[in-house]
Amino acid sequence: MKIIVIGGGPGALYFAISAKLRDAGHDITVIERDPPGATYGWGVVYWDDLLDALYGNDSESARELRAASVLWQQQEVRLRGKTAFYAGYGYSVGRAALLEILGQRAENVGVRIRYQDNVQDLSDFREADLIVAADGASSRVRQQDEYFGTTLTTGLNPYIWLGTDKVFSKFLFDFQETPAGWVWCHAYPSSSGISTFIVECQEQTWSRLGLGAMCSDDSRSALEEIFSDVLKGHRLISESRGQPARWQRFTEVRNEKWYHGNVVLLGDAAHTTHFTIGSGTRLAILDAIALAQSLYERGESLPHALDMYEERRRKPMYRTQAAARSSMAWYERVNLYTDRDSVAFAAAMAARQGSLPPWRHQLHLLEQLAPARVAHRWYETGERFYLARRRGEALRYTSFAPPRSPSAPADTGPHARPRTEELPTADARSVAV
């Protein structure tokens, strides 16, 4: 099959790898508008469920991805300088490293990647059997076809995706009160020497602080001052692909149909989820596996294969997007909760996608005691060891050091581990290479 993939993000590259591994006869070209190594953003977090899917699909790139990732253990929520602790661990990888690993692997399995080619329309690809639109949230391909039934909804809070040379070992949410209102960061490690630092606030706070009217350097300096007790003299980094990061508002993308003719949407082009559930990359990768597997199973009939892909991925996305909307809305109304102490505030944050069962609340209170945190950490280390063994991961990547991770109960939390129902089917994983 002749396949053109538009976009060279994680969804596109992972689809190309997965399809080629299932059928070496596919002729696949990935077209990316940026040069190699140029990308936006910093670290992306993910959890064990994604590692399970990656190891099951392509253990070679999974190993490299795991080796390039850092483990964060423990989440801390700071309000008025007081810290509350919350159980939870995950992994984080720099977006640039992720793309380098996937790009290299794609080329090694025989995928062609054409960089610096900004696709304007699809007329050049008439000979393609399949066109995969993996060109991100603002997908030009999607915009050219009303058939997809696209709905775009813009969130209220401005945010900016920055890096910092301060190395965090934990996931930190720090809420700072300014005369103009609350400003907060979501900070976590992303690669050696660099951490991710996303800053968010309500619209009126942003306007009163004049952040939108400032040049990039002034806005960065203002944020360094607001978060000075967290950054402790370290700097914020704005430029990630030669251009300064910009303040943005999240746009939720939904589509009634994910394919039309031989054009199919994948990843952010098909759906977006607010960054506070840390799932977009993971969902794009799971789309990629599901599409490759559907082609493998029903390749003789493209419409059947694309139906199967839609069936596997589109409906489960309703729930995920609803959870992401609740999460986004909580941050948009954060000032309703800031009169609480930090422990109650962290509990409210953890419950933002639904109520917290009483036992989770008790566990959260227990977590504030250092011995309970140590015990929990050991428990999670054991769990991580078990999961790593089960998927055949080299144990040198399985940290037994202090930090920590959550286990079975962790589908809620300040930065919640996602639910597992969108994982590829057992069939999909059984085609592991």
Ligand X SMILES: Cc1cc2nc3c(=O)[nH]c(=O)nc-3n(C[C@H](O)[C@H](O)[C@H](O)COP(=O)(O)OP(=O)(O)OC[C@H]3O[C@@H](n4cnc5c(N)ncnc54)[C@H](O)[C@@H]3O)c2cc1C
- 306-to-289, 297, 298, 313 alpha-carbon distances in Å: 13, 11, 9, 11
Query: What residue ranges bind ligand X (CB under 6 A)?
Result: 6-12, 31-34, 41, 44-46, 118-119, 134-136, 140, 161, 198, 267-268, 275, 278-282, 284
Between 161 and 168, CB nearer to ligand X: 161
**Residues 395, 396, 401, 406, CA torsion sign:** negative
Cβ of residue 26: shortest distance to ligand X, in angstroms?
Answer: 19
Cβ of residue 144: shortest distance to ligand X, in angstroms?
Answer: 10
Cβ of residue 371: shortest distance to ligand X, in angstroms?
Answer: 31
Contacts of 355 (CB under 8 A, 6+ apart): none
What secondary structure, in 3-state letters, does 147-180 show?
A: HHCEEEEEEEEEEEEEEECCCCCCEEEEEEEECC
Cβ of residue 243: shortest distance to ligand X, in angstroms?
Answer: 12
- 83-to-12, 74, 170 alpha-carbon distances in Å: 40, 12, 13
Between 6 and 71, CB nearer to ligand X: 6
* Nearest residue to ligand X, scored by beta-carbon proximity: 280
Cβ of residue 118: shortest distance to ligand X, in angstroms?
Answer: 5
Between 82 and 114, CB nearer to ligand X: 114
**Residues 410, 412, 413, 414, CA torsion sign:** positive
Between 35 and 261, CB nearer to ligand X: 35
Cβ of residue 44: shortest distance to ligand X, in angstroms?
Answer: 4
Measured distance CA(422)–CA(346) in Å, rounded: 27
Between 140 and 376, CB nearer to ligand X: 140
Between 188 and 337, CB nearer to ligand X: 188
State the pairing for strand pair 150-164/248-255.
Answer: antiparallel
Measured distance CA(84)–CA(121) in Å, rounded: 51
Cβ of residue 8: shortest distance to ligand X, in angstroms?
Answer: 5
Burial class, 388, CB count within 10 angstroms (exposed 0-12 / middle 13-18 / buried 19+):
buried
Between 32 and 342, CB nearer to ligand X: 32
Cβ of residue 300: shortest distance to ligand X, in angstroms?
Answer: 27
- 66-to-94, 107, 266, 398 alpha-carbon distances in Å: 11, 20, 23, 10
CA 45 to centroid of chain Cα atoms: 6
Measured distance CA(7)–CA(10) in Å, rounded: 9
Between 267 and 373, CB nearer to ligand X: 267
Cβ of residue 16: shortest distance to ligand X, in angstroms?
Answer: 11
Measured distance CA(360)–CA(366) in Å, rounded: 10
Between 10 and 163, CB nearer to ligand X: 10
